[in-house]
Structure 1
Amino acid sequence: MCGIAGFVNDMPIDVKCPVLKRMTDMIAHRGPDSEGRYVDEHAALGHRRLSIIDLEGSSQPIYNEDRTLVITYNGEVYNYRPLREELIALGHEFTTEGDTEVVLHGYEQWGPDVLKRLRGMFAFVIWDTTTRTLFGARDHFGIKPFYYALMNGTFMYASEIKAMLPHPDFVKELNADALRPYMTFQYPAIPETFFKGVFKLPEGHWFTYRDGRIDIHRYYDETYTEGDMGLDELVDTIDRTVCESVEAHQIADVEVGSFLSSGVDSSYVAAVARPEHTYSIGFGKGTYNESQQAAELAGIIGLNNTTESLGGDEAFANFPLIQWHLDEPDSNPSCVPLFFLSELASRDLRVVLSGEGADELFAGYIDYGVHTRSKAIKVVTRMLTRLPAGMRHAIARFAKGRTFHGAWHLYANLAPAEESFIGQARVFTEAESDRLLRPEYRNGPSVADVVGRIYGRVRGTDMSELKRKQYLDMHQWMPGDILLKADKLTMAHSLELRVPLLDKELMAVAEQVPTKWLITDENTKFAFRRAAARHLPKEWYDREKLGFPVPIKVWLRQEKYYRHVRSLFGQEWVSRFFDRDALLRMVDDNYEGRTDDRRKIWTVFTFLTWYDVYFNHDGRRPEPAEVA
């Protein structure tokens, strides 16, 4: 795992070199083991390395045989060994034992089609010195980040936005259009980032840049169908593919550990992988500390588990640093424990496995349509889903906004996905955010604009409404929130995170699961849980999804933290963005128990913390500071 940064322009080489050094120094945490660079009259490619495979070799950049192509690469390709043998048979000569050179020679042999052959996570660039063309790509799901900008005649790119800040052609300006959708989604929800002019290369895409022009192309997308496998065969296939994926994701020349929570996903991965070390974290005791259940499971299946408990002081002291590492504001409360969990694991290891992906692949979220515990309501609703679309939608619209028990469940399951589902977070409604935001920040894309861009790709297909929701999450929630924080907060501690449940071979199985075996009257991700049951006790494979429990409700009603948040909300500069008096009323009412606006407060607090770091303090890395 590594970090990359670079640019294309015609500034003199002796000017390029120090600029590139400053860029890669900003992401030294991604690759503390070594640094490398390639610089010529037209391009500068920088690299920071965290050595995982071929520890003594594979330093980057790496060249092809005649040195006309040069690559800098971030990621892991788990099927690189058979690809290497195939390329050798085709006449390619290798100088290393790692996966990076496989990607380079694969591009030399097959061009962009090499991407369809790769199984793994990656973001990389290849510079063609003869045509002066930069080719780059991001993995199928967006596990690895890739940002780019074209400013003042310079094309620049990086694994993290902060690496672009030192470039003399970079213009740092807040993207006013990003704030409004963020208030609803809790994460950067549009292709252009919070930095105006900086964009994310979409997941499953490649690009070329030449002569001032960037061309972007999609090479991968999910194809959801209704498979015809019986349940037993389906469960066999899921379990076999999970086991194969976990084995593939353990390829390394260093020890590979695992995160372990109380939920089925990470527990399944750990139970299959049987690593030497697993890691868990929580807050205090009771409801907010699932590390206790994780430690219990570790004891049952014979794993060595390290746990740690956190408090609010550590969370608030490090919160600016967390937002600095994220590059853009993300108010998912789980960012806090993930940051500390990564630090805990990094004391011993360089690589860990985690359980991201199963909820999106196999329908694990209750927001996909599980809003009642009544079996009778579930049965009736399931029967109604078989009605023609017009009748289903009419019933849904009748139930919308009603207060009778089961109304929400009916609406969520019978309404068109585009009307009822925007993803796994809905913090502020648009009306609520517009009442808080200053007029110049109310012009960003609407929620319908954001999700409509993705729903539009599957409009007119016979895909089930549930699978449409999964499709949206795979292209919105997953790369925008889940994978962004997973990458940034593990790499903050020079720790590589691997996600064997977010794998293209497992996706090929998941997209064929019949809708009836995704969510049943018993639980979410039903077929997946049946597969996990072969490795876990019932209490773990059947447990309802909890997420990373974080006590922000408790914190915001403790005077110490309430005053800390209120102090930030009261700063004069806050009125550039918000009705400051309304913000202060919100935090006061929540503290006094008149309302429960914890998620709204935390979302605003996150944005303001991030803005303070990157604009008021010019993006300098903050040091942890005690909360007074």
Structure 2
Amino acid sequence: MCGVAGIVSTSPPDPGHVREMCRLIAHRGPDGEGYHVDAHAALGMRRLAIIDVAGGDQPVYNEDGTVAAVFNGEIYNFVELRDRLIARGHRFTTGSDTEVLVHLYEDHGEDLVEHLRGMFAFAIWDAARRRLLLARDRVGKKPLYYRQAGASLAFASELKALVADPSVSRELDPVALHHYLTYQYVPAPWSIYLGIRKLPPGHLLVWQDGEARLRRYWKLDFTPRPVGSEREAAERARQLLLDATRVRMVSERPLGAFLSGGIDSSAVVAAMARLSDRPVKTFCIGFDDQRYDERSYAASVARRYGTDHHEFVVVGSSALEVLPTVARHFDEPFADSSAIPSFFVAELSRRHVTVVLNGDGGDECFGGYRRYAFMKRVGRMQPPERLRGLLDRIGSALAQADTTPRLRRVGRGIRLLGETPQHRYASLMSHFSDEGKNALYTEAQHERVAGIDSNDLIRHVFDTSAADEDVNRLMDVDVNTYLPGDLLVKVDITTMAHSLEARSPFLDHHLMEWAAGLPGGWKVDGQVTKALLKKAMVPWLPSELLHRPKAGFGVPLADWLRCELRPLAYDLLTDHTARARGLFRPDVVRGLLQDHSEGRDRSNLLWSLLQFELWQRTCAEQSWDTACAVSQPAQGHCG
């Protein structure tokens, strides 16, 4: 696991700049560094040593030194690939997984990615052809950013390494901001900076003599496939999960697991316990608010498998303290509030281990989100045209009313009934609605994003999916949007901030490809989500865990924004610096703050605005005011 960076050009690149890029991402690889420099390429990396700790330094080279590679990630089938390549006459000088890349490239060119089982972002420089190959893993576990300027191309694992170049403009991309407010993350291929792009999951970029081309090499196929009985499928799910877990337990450094108390992380811990001859180290985050605390469920799994269990409780004051640090690590606005507990559980885990396994991807493979059940319940219901306007007005009134959260949810549901399935799901996944953004934007910002519809990103995947059932179409959407844009970014950034490697058995592409072809009714059965996985886990997990409602990895955000974080939110969102940006109408921002203080939940909207402003000050402008960062919790007016 590492951080990578580099520059290729038709003229000699500056190796000193690549060294500075690597210095800025040293947290991704504190164990060493390595560089390759020639007339047209400068490649660098920072290493977190996991495999072949003693001898696996990078860059790695082919036999004659004409092909070099730097690599971030893990290739889980590297032993099998290495044996095959040796049989074909290739010579290896290390025992690392990285070295298979240069030899696979010699045999297969850019098609080498078809042979890889793992998570990765890598760069291969072919000096003889003056060709750079950049690749990102199938689902987007590992990040890769790039910037093309004339005949040069620069790349890095994190944005901070690219914007360190003084010649790079830090100009905000207004379309990226527009999408961010909808989804709470900046979706690929955009980055928050104009001119810098994300390499999308499952894509390659080939640069040669100043020209670049991009192509997609993998997409999860949801075409229905023949299946046996549900009993056979449950057994197959266990087998695939065990195999995916087994290959992810190869490590020369201490290894453990995140254990949230949900089915997915618990299933991974159960698989690890079956494969290990010693107690698994498990790590759990809780809250002092019982509504969000799942430690008791995690503890029940820990007891069942005799794990070496560790816990940490997050409170609002601790969240306040780490906000600037978290914003600096993300490099662009990111408003999934579960990044806060993710940051703390990574910090806790790193005190004990270097590698953790987690349950990411279980929901997207087996249908775990409650929104899937809602969408299945309403189906393709389409009320007559004359009723749609009425439903929209009634639903909007209830959703915005000063009433209970439950009634607001009912209002939102009524409003969604009047939409097509793809529009309905896009609305469910939106935070700021189109109307909300229209009210928020200044006239200048309106003009910058005129004609741009963020919901098209979801609707396009829904409409082009090979699935024949809406439940599977929704999972196709999430695998292409929410999973790589939100969940995987959150885990990568928060773990690598602490030099911790995270591995995800449910995101093994063999398991994902098998699960994608299963009937949607086996995944969401009425109101039961993840139905097949729950059946598969009956022999492994306590029944009370299998049958409890899904809780998610939420935080008491609404309460924090009325108490510990309230002064910070007011300070950052209403001061002269924020108003002077000319992006948002100050009266609308103040209205959201006031609404929330008076009991109407605007926490998700405020959190999006707050994270944007934190990004501006900590990353884009690097002008964070220390006094503001340590604003004291409100006294006497929490609630």
Q: TM-score, normalised by structure 2?
A: 0.90
How far did 1:285 drift? 4.3
The yes-or-no answer on 1:592 pairing with 2:602 is no
**Per-residue deviation at 1:470?**
0.9
Q: Paired residue for 1:450?
A: 457
2:472 & 2:53 partners in 1: Cα distance? 42
8 Å contact from structure 1 (residues 120, 139) kept in 2: yes
Letter in 2 for 1:496: E
Cα distance in 2 for partners of 1:397, 1:58 equals 67
SS across alignment from 2:219: coil
Shift of 1:20: 1.1
SS of 2:356's partner is: strand
Deviation, 1:409, is 7.3
> 2: distance between equivalents of 1:21 and 1:622?
29
How far 1:411 moved relative to its partner? 9.2
Following superposition, the deviation at residue 162 of structure 1 comes to 0.5
- Alignment match of 2:550 (pick from 532, 545, 565): 545
Secondary structure of the corresponding residue to residue 257 of structure 2? strand
Contact 2:36/2:44 (8 A) holds in 1:
yes
Match of 2:224 among 217, 223, 226: 226
Taking a change above 3 Å as real, the CA distance of residues 518 and 584 of structure 1, as seen in their structure-2 partners, is: same
Match of 1:506 in 2: 511
Matched, 1:110 2:108: yes
Is residue 151 of structure 1 aligned with residue 149 of structure 2? yes
Q: Counterpart of 2:159? A: 161
Cα separation, partners in 2 of 1:95 and 1:117, compared to 1, 3 Å? same
Q: Which residue of 2 aligns with 1:47?
A: 45
Q: Is the 1:396–1:412 contact (alpha carbons within 8 Å) kept by the matching residues of 2?
A: no
Counterpart residue number, 1:318: 322
Asked whether the 8 Å contact 1:438–1:578 carries over to 2, the reply is yes
Q: Assess, with a 3 A threshold, how the Cα gap between structure 1 residues 143 and 285 changes in structure 2: closer, same or farther.
A: same
Alignment partner, residue 97 of structure 1:
95
CA contact (8 A) 1:224 1:511 kept: yes
Give the structure 2 partner of residue 2 of structure 1. Answer: 2
> Per-residue deviation at 1:238?
0.8
Contact 1:329–1:606, Cα closer than 8 Å, also in 2: yes
User: How far apart, in 2, do the equivalents of 1:488 and 1:195 lie?
Assistant: 18
Shift of 1:585: 2.3
Query: Gaps (5+ residues) in structure 1?
Result: 373-377
Q: How far apart in 1 are the matches of 2:94 and 2:528?
A: 48
Letter in 1 for 2:287: F
Deviation at 1:110, TM superposition (A): 1.3
Partner of 1:375: none
Q: Partners in 1 of 2:558 and 2:415 — Cα distance?
A: 29
Task: Report if the CA contact (8 A) 1:209-1:215 is conserved.
Answer: yes
Q: For the residues of structure 2 that align with 1:569 and 1:358, how far apart are their CA atoms?
A: 37
Query: 1:624 deviation in Å?
Result: 11
1:416 CA displacement: 4.8
> Aligned partners of 2:578 and 2:129: how far apart in 1?
49
SS in 1 for 2:489: helix
- 8 Å Cα contact 1:424/1:477 also seen in 2: no
Whether contact under 8 Å (2:151, 2:211) holds in the other structure is no
Deviations 1:400-419 (A, max 9, x none): 64779999879979975422
1:477 equivalent in structure 2: 482
Q: Distance in 1 between matches of 2:437 and 2:117?
A: 41
Out of 505, 523, 534, the residue aligned to residue 518 of structure 1 is: 523
Q: Letter of the aligned partner of 2:462 in structure 1? A: Y
1:513 maps to a residue whose letter is L
Call closer, same or farther: CA 1:306–1:623 in 2, change over 3 Å: farther
Compute the displacement of 1:451 (Å): 2.2
More displaced 10-residue stretch of structure 1: 598-607 or 560-569: 560-569
**Map 1:388-427 → 2, pairs under 5 A:** 392-393=381-382, 401=392, 416-422=420-426, 425-427=429-431
**Equivalent residues of 1:136, 1:208 under 8 A apart:** yes
Distance 1:506 1:306 in 2: 29
For 1:552-571, what aligned pairs fall within 5 Å after superposition? 552-558=557-563, 560-571=564-575
CA contact (8 A) 2:105 2:112 kept: yes
> What amino acid does structure 2 have at the position aligned with 1:25?
R
Q: Which amino acid aligns with 1:351?
A: V
Structure 1 residues 623, 568: closer, same or farther in 2, change over 3 A? closer
- Of the structure 1 ranges 563-572 and 140-149, higher mean CA displacement relative to structure 2 is found in 563-572
Q: Is the 8 A contact 2:568 2:629 kept in 1?
A: no
**2:35 aligns to what?**
37
Relative to structure 1, the CA distance from residue 168 to residue 58 in structure 2 (aligned partners, 3 Å threshold; closer, same or farther) is same
Partner SS state of residue 447, structure 1: coil
Which consecutive residues of structure 2, in runs of 5 or more, have no partner in the other structure?
274-278, 396-406, 633-639
Q: CA 1:433/1:406 → structure 2, altered by over 3 Å: closer, same or farther? A: closer
Q: Percent identity?
A: 35
- What is the 5 A alignment of 1:67-106? 67-106=65-104
Q: 1:467/1:622 Cα in 2 relative to 1: closer, same or farther (>3 Å)? A: farther
For 1:254, the aligned partner's letter is: R
Measured after TM superposition, the shift of residue 623 of structure 1 is 11
Amino acid at match of 1:516: G
Structure-2 change in CA distance of 1:218 and 1:10 (3 Å): closer
Helix, strand or coil: the match of 1:466? Answer: helix
Q: Distance in 2 between matches of 1:441 and 1:414?
A: 29
Q: CA RMSD in A?
A: 2.5
Asked if 1:173 corresponds to 2:171, the answer is: yes
Q: Which residue number in structure 2 is paired with residue 273 of structure 1? A: 272
Rounded Cα–Cα distance in structure 2 between residues aligned with 1:462 and 1:77: 29
Change over 3 Å in CA distance of 1:370–1:287 after alignment to 2: same
1:210 to 196, 208, 211: 208
Taking the aligned partners of 1:366 and 1:530, their CA distance within structure 2 comes to: 18
Code of the aligned partner of 1:303 = T
> Could you tell me how far 1:586 is from its partner in structure 2?
1.5
What is the aligned partner in structure 1 of residue 276 from structure 2?
none
Which residue identity lines up with residue 356 of structure 1 in the other structure? D
Question: Does the CA contact (< 8 Å) of 2:373 and 2:528 recur in 1?
Answer: no
Preserved CA contact (<8 Å) 2:10 2:210: no
CA distance in 1, matches of 2:332, 2:611: 10
- Going from structure 1 to structure 2, the CA distance change for 1:150 and 1:424 (only over 3 Å counts) comes to farther
Q: Which amino acid aligns with 2:603?
A: R
Which residue in the other structure is 2:296 paired with? 292
Match of 1:435 in 2: 439
Q: Does 33-42 or 287-296 show the bigger shift?
A: 287-296
**Aligned-partner Cα distance in 1 for 2:164–2:171:** 14
1:404-446 deviations in Å (ceiling 9; x for gaps):
9999879979975422112873211111112112223234331
- The answer to whether the 8 A contact 2:73-2:121 is kept is yes
After superposition, residues 126-137 of structure 1 pair within 5 angstroms as 126-137=124-135
Alpha-carbon distance in 2 for matches of 1:24, 1:286:
42
> Residue 449 and residue 492 in structure 1: after superposition, are their counterparts in 2 closer, same or farther (change >3 A)?
same
Greater shift, 491-500 or 208-217, is seen at 208-217
What's the CA shift for 1:338?
0.2
Deviation string 1:176-197 (CA, Å, 9 cap, x unpaired) is 1111221111111352210111
* Paired amino acid for 2:517: Q
Distance 2:591 2:415 in 1: 33
- How far is the alpha carbon of 1:589 from its aligned partner? 2.3
Does the CA contact (< 8 Å) of 1:36 and 1:61 recur in 2?
yes
Count of equivalent residues: 606
Residues 333 and 225 of structure 1: CA distance in aligned 2, closer, same or farther (over 3 Å): same
1:2–1:74 CA contact under 8 A, matched in 2: yes
What CA distance in whole angstroms lies between the structure 1 residues aligned with 2:72 and 2:417? 40
**More deviation in 84-93 or 533-542?**
533-542
**Taking structure 1 as reference, are residues 190 and 93 closer, same or farther at Cα in structure 2, changes over 3 Å only?**
closer
